[in-house]
Structure 1
Amino acid sequence: MNTQIQKLYTKVAKSERLIIGLMSGTSMDGLDIALCSVKGSGAATDIQVLKFKTGDYTDDFRAKIKAIFSKKEVDLQLVCLMNEHIANVHAELINNALGEWGYKNEDIDFIASHGQTIFHAPKSLHQLADYPNGTLQIGDGDHIALKTGIITLSDFRQKHLAAGGEGAPLAVYGDYLMFSKAGEDRVMLNIGGIANFTYLPGSTDASEIFSTDVGPGNTLMDQYMQKHFNKFYDKNAAVSMAGNLKQQLLSALLDCDFFDLDFPKTTGPELFNLDYLIKAQEQSSTTDLDAADVMATLCHFSAETIAHAIKRCFGDAAKAEIFMSGGGMHNPLLVQLLQSKLPSCNFLTTDDLNINPDAKEAVLFVVLANETLCGKPINFGDRKGVPSVCMGKISLPE
């Protein structure tokens, strides 16, 4: 047997595995690195977050990603080079984190790397009859494995596509294993660049569970802040709270076919970007609005689309335990608006479930990798968008 395959087999057979999960989302604020201890698999998964940090990106590196991010026309050579460059940067951030935490690379059994999404193209968005759903994450797993010396699983979304899904959202798989609770209906709401949630019924019946994108979370607000205020995001909603909702603009922003599509569905900054905002302003004759009023309205837009999606599932008097994660949970205006629009819901964070909410997305990929290595596909029933598959390509370090 190849010695690397033997090493893989030995690590999989361990009663406790140390797995690093990586997540770099559409906000591109840095690389989330979660070191987890994992025992068991499937419904018996026992996971603990041992260490977590966000490895900072330099402004130069972030600019290089943005040069190829969410654009239909890009420099193909740059895409090719960035596939390797992103992996090298991620590997360096992992090595630095392990040194900071006092771990040796050989202590770690596996890395689960999401990579960096640069384009997401479900059929609902590209509308090209002869083409399938598509998505592209770069940051090559072989480079990470070689430069860390750790077996790496990566490129998770391609199996989801191959099995008939849209490549997103994948949260349903990890949320089911980590957070389901008999007798309690739960909503796992992640407000990243795009907002998505997973519905976990108290029946714990996997065939009733689903995960869906619902619309913009932070992406439009972040893009607007970067362009008009030269700030990465609206810290503590300072700008949004200084502005006022403009109903004409909000109505125009809500006028989009995506919001009428059935669940599950996916979207991204390919749709919800500054061009989308400009068109809505032109349509509503609000191009001369004060920037703070635009930000306030964008925050209301995100809140309205999230609340509307939850009401579609639970009715206008929706009652559910909503566990938040993602950057949007730190936006006080957004959270306040959600609470006012869903007054019968109880808003918590995944901290209340012993998972750091900022680490949740990285931990998700730890769970997905663990299932590929030690588990088996979960039977979610014969439903569109939720294929019963294990995901992730395996890269060996030698």
Structure 2
Amino acid sequence: MNKQIQNLYLKANKAERLIIGLMSGTSMDGLDIALCKVSGSGAETDIRVLEFKTGDFTADFREKVKAVFSKREADLQLVCLMNELIADTHAELINTALKEWGYKNEEIDFIASHGQTIFHAPKSLHKMEDYPNGTLQIGDGDHIAVKTGIITLSDFRQKHLAAGGEGAPLAVYGDYLIFSKKYEDRVMLNIGGIANFTYLPGNLNADEIFSTDVGPGNTLMDQFMQQNFKQFYDKDGAVGLSGNLNEHLLNALLKNEFFDADFPKTTGPELFNLNYLFAAQQVSATENISQEDVMATLCHFSAKTIANAIKRCFGLDAKAQVFMSGGGMHNPLLVKLLKEELPQSQFATTADLGINPDAKEAVLFAVLANESICGAPINFGGRKGIPSVCMGKISLPE
């Protein structure tokens, strides 16, 4: 047997495994690195976050990513080069984090790398009948494995596509294993660039679970802040809080067939971008309102789309137990608006369930890697959009 295959086999059979989960989302604010101790698999999964940090991206690196991000036309040579550069950058950030935490690379069993999404193209968006669902994450797993010396699982979304899904959202798999609780219906709401949630029924019936994107979380607000205020995001919601809602613009933003489509569904900044905002401003004759009012309205837009989706599932008087994660939970205006839209729902964060909400997505990929190595496909009843598969390609370091 090849010694690396043997090493993989031995690690897969350990009672406890150290797995690093990685996530770099559409907001591109840095690389979330979560060092997790994992035992068991499936319903017996036990996971504990030992260390967490967000490795900062340099301004130059962020601009390089933006040059190929969410563009229907991009320089193919640059895409090829960024596939390697992103992986090398992520590997360097991992090595630095391990050194800071006092771990040797050989102590880590696996890395679970999401990669960097540069384009997401479900059929519902591209609308080309002759083509399937598609998505592309770059940051090659072989480069990470070689440069860290750690077995790496990556490119998780392709198996989801191959088995009939849209490549997103994948949170349902980890949410089910980590956060389900008997007798308590839960909504695991992640407000990243795109907002999505997973519904976890208290009866623990996997057939009833679903996960769906609901619309923009931070992506439009972040893009507008970067273009007009030269800030990466609206820290503490300060700009949004200084503006006023424009109802005409909000109504125009809400008019899109995506919001009427059935769950589960997926979307991305390929749809919700500054061009989408400009088109809505033209339709509503709001091109000349203040930038602060635009930011306030974009925040209302995100809150409205999230709340509408939850009401669609639980009724107009939704009484949901909502656990938040993602960057949007740090925006006080967005959280305030959500609570006003859903007055009978209870809001908390995944910190109340033992998982740092900023680390949650990285942790979810550690769980997916653990299932691929040590578990089995979770049966969600063969429903559309949630194929029963294990995900992640395996890269060996030698």
Interval containing the TM-score (normalised by the shorter chain):
over 0.9
Gaps of 5+ in 2: none
| Runs of at least 5 residues in structure 1 that lack an aligned partner in the other structure | none
* Offset of residue 382 of structure 1: 1.7
Is 1:61 aligned to 2:84, yes or no?
no
- Between the aligned partners of 1:155 and 1:86, the Cα distance in structure 2 is 13
- Other-structure match for 1:196: 196
Within 5 A, what are the aligned runs for 1:124-203? 124-203=124-203
SS, match of residue 79 in structure 1: helix
Tell me the residue number matched to 2:342: 342
**Residue identity opposite 1:17 in structure 2:** R
The separation in 2 between residues aligned to 1:248 and 1:8, in whole angstroms, is: 58
Hey, what's the Cα distance between the residues in 1 that align with 2:168 and 2:242?
35
TM-score by length of 2: 1.00
- Residue identity opposite 2:193 in structure 1: G
Q: Distance in 1 between matches of 2:318 and 2:110?
A: 41
What residue in structure 2 maps to residue 282 of structure 1?
A: 282
Counterpart code for 2:287: T
Give the Å deviation of 1:272: 0.1
Who is 1:292 aligned against? 292
For 1:3, the equivalent position in structure 2 comes to 3
Q: Give, as a single letter, the amino acid of the residue that structure 2 aligns with 1:221.
A: M
> In the TM superposition, what whole-angstrom CA distance separates every residue of 1:306-329 from its partner, at most 9, and x where no partner exists?
000000000001011100000000
Matched residue, 2:310: 310
Amino acid corresponding to residue 124 of structure 1 in structure 2: S
Counterpart Cα distance in 2 of 1:241 and 1:115: 34
Structure 1 length-normalised TM: 1.00
Q: In the TM superposition, what whole-angstrom CA distance separates every residue of 1:208-260 from its partner, at most 9, and x where no partner exists?
A: 00000000000000000000000000001100000000000000000000000
* Aligned mates of 2:243, 2:282 — CA distance in 1: 20
Distance across 1 between alignment mates of 2:230 and 2:360: 28
Number of aligned residues: 398
SS in 1 for 2:369: helix
Q: Which AA in structure 1 matches 2:249? A: L
> For residue 50 of structure 2, what is the aligned residue in structure 1?
50
Post-superposition CA distance 1:9-47 (Å, at most 9, x none): 000000000000000000000000000000000000000
1:195 is displaced (CA, Å) by: 0.2
Shift of 1:153: 0.1
CA distance in 1, matches of 2:185, 2:199: 8
User: Per the alignment, in what secondary structure is the counterpart of residue 215 of structure 1?
Assistant: strand
What is the CA–CA distance in structure 2 between the aligned matches of 1:111 and 1:14, rounded to whole Å?
Answer: 16
For 1:40 and 1:375, how far apart are their aligned partners in 2? 8
In 2: Cα distance, 1:255 partner to 1:89 partner: 40
Fraction of identical pairs, as percent: 78
Match of 1:37 in 2: 37
Q: Alignment partner of 1:236: what SS?
A: helix
Structure 1 stretches (4+) deviating beyond 2 angstroms?
Answer: none
Partner of 1:105: 105
The aligned amino acid for 1:330 is H
Match of 1:23 in 2: 23
Alpha-carbon distance in structure 2 between the residues aligned to 1:130 and 1:384: 20
Give the structure 1 partner of residue 91 of structure 2.
Answer: 91
Instruction: Kindly report the root-mean-square deviation, in angstroms, between the aligned alpha carbons of the 2 structures.
Output: 0.3
* CA distance in structure 2 between the aligned counterparts of 1:183 and 1:316, rounded to whole angstroms: 22
- What secondary structure does 2:49 align onto? strand
* Distance in 2 between residues matched to 1:216 and 1:197, nearest whole Å: 12
Matched, 1:267 2:294: no
